[in-house]
Each structure stands twice: as structure tokens, then as C-alpha cells.
């Protein structure tokens, strides 16, 4: 009886181990799917009611890039933005008279996190010629502050906790980067991440600043 009980116990343990192994496999597969989706969903549609424009027939610009013709260019809102991590409010009108790059970002947005070191690199290289402003959207203040400190961000930061600015500039995904003329007009926008080379190219093409 003892050997039979032991055998049954071993069989039971083998079955349990197989079940545990299957569960681990399922969990790992699920984690991999989530990781892949985080990349696939790089552009997070915060405003579900808006859809990106149709791709141009000539194949020039992608869905995520939008060079705005004069009749569609709009001024950057003048209203103040909340201070970042409890800091002073940011007056957008104060940037008039110089080219400006506005980057909408959040720590929950993986592509935003990935591109921020590139933004910091180019902001440092173009200091004095182009102003940079990072607007943290619907994020945790402490988490955002900690991440900005880890990256070593030196350009201006503001907060948009209730997405009012996000909606005012008609953004539909994250990250969104706006290129603003010295007159305060949004001349170009990109929804999706930019690397340092892409950012330098956009500065040259749309704001006339070579870095």
C-alpha cells in the first residue's frame, strides 16, 4: 500500500508539475503579448473620437506626420499651463519671438519614455536658438518628476493633468510633438516618437534651424 500511495503521489506531483509548467508558459506568453502590444500601441489614442487623416496619395507623409498648410495652421494656445511637479505655471505666450518645440509625453507612454533622451540631446545642442517645452499629460506628478530627473531633462516642463491642452491642440495620440514658429503658429506636428536625427531634420525643414 505504501508503494502504491507513493506511486499515486508521484503521479499526482508529475501532473501538478505539468499543470504548473503550462500555467507558467501561458503567463509568459501573455506577458510577451503585452510587451509587443506596448510597442504596437506606441501611439496611444487618448481621444477616441478623432481619427488620423487618410494617407496622402503621393506617399509623401505618413499618417503620423502632418505638415500643416497655411489655411490649417493654428496658433498655439496662449493660456498658462500647470507647473510641473508643483512648480510655477508656464505662460505659453512667453515663448513668442523664438522657434518652439512642444512635446506631449507621459511615463505611461513607452515611446515617450524612449524618445526623451533624444529630445534632451537636441535641446542641449540647439539651446539659445530653439526653445523646448515638455508637457506631461495625465500622469503621476512624482513618477514624472523622478523620470525627468533620471533622464536629466534641462528644458522647460509643464503639466496637463486633465488633458485640456492635449485637446486644445487637437492631438490624438502620444507622443505628439508640435513645431511652433516664432509668431506662435503650429506649422508641423508629429504623432509618434522622434529620434535625434529625425528631430534635427524636422527643425531644419519646418523651423529653419540647423543643429
Binned at pLDDT 50, 70 and 90, residue 69 comes out as low
**Residue 116: which residues within 8 A CB-CB, separation 6 or more?**
105, 134, 147, 148, 151, 153
What counts of helices (H) and strands (E) characterise the chain?
5, 9
Q: pLDDT per residue over 153-192, tens digit each?
A: 999 999 999 999 999 999 989 999 999 999 999 999 999 9
**Predicted TM-score (pTM) of this structure:** 0.72
Binned at pLDDT 50, 70 and 90, residue 79 comes out as confident
Mean pLDDT of the region 138-163 = 97
CA dist list (Å): 126 to 23, 111, 117, 188: 52, 22, 14, 18
Residue 197, all three cell numbers: 536625427
Backbone torsions φ then ψ of 97, nearest 5 degrees: 100, -5
CA dist list (Å): 133 to 10, 60, 171: 64, 28, 16
Share the mean pLDDT of the chain. Answer: 78
Distance CA(173)–CA(48), nearest Å, equals 9
Tell me: pLDDT of 15 over 60: no
CA 64 to chain centre: 13
Mean pLDDT of the region 128-138 = 97
Amino acid at each position: 500500500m505504501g508503494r502504491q500511495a507513493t506511486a499515486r503521489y508521484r503521479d499526482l506531483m508529475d501532473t501538478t508539475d505539468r499543470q504548473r509548467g503550462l500555467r507558467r508558459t501561458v503567463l509568459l506568453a501573455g506577458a510577451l503579448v503585452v510587451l509587443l502590444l506596448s510597442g504596437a500601441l506606441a501611439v496611444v489614442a487618448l481621444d477616441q473620437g478623432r481619427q488620423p487623416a487618410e494617407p496622402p496619395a503621393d506617399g509623401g507623409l505618413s499618417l503620423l506626420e502632418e505638415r500643416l498648410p497655411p489655411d490649417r495652421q493654428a496658433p498655439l494656445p496662449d493660456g498658462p499651463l500647470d507647473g510641473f511637479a508643483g512648480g510655477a505655471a508656464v505662460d505659453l505666450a512667453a515663448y513668442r519671438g523664438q522657434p518652439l518645440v512642444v512635446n506631449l509625453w507621459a511615463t505611461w507612454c513607452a515611446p515617450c519614455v524612449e524618445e526623451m533622451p533624444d529630445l534632451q540631446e537636441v535641446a542641449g545642442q540647439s539651446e539659445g536658438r530653439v526653445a523646448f517645452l515638455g508637457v506631461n499629460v495625465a500622469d503621476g506628478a512624482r513618477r514624472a518628476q523622478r523620470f525627468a530627473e533620471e533622464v536629466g531633462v534641462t528644458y522647460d516642463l509643464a503639466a496637463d493633468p486633465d488633458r485640456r491642452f492635449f485637446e486644445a491642440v487637437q492631438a490624438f495620440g502620444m507622443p505628439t510633438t508640435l513645431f511652433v514658429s516664432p509668431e506662435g503658429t503650429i506649422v508641423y506636428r508629429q504623432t509618434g516618437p522622434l529620434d535625434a536625427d529625425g528631430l534635427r531634420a524636422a527643425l531644419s525643414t519646418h523651423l529653419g534651424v540647423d543643429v
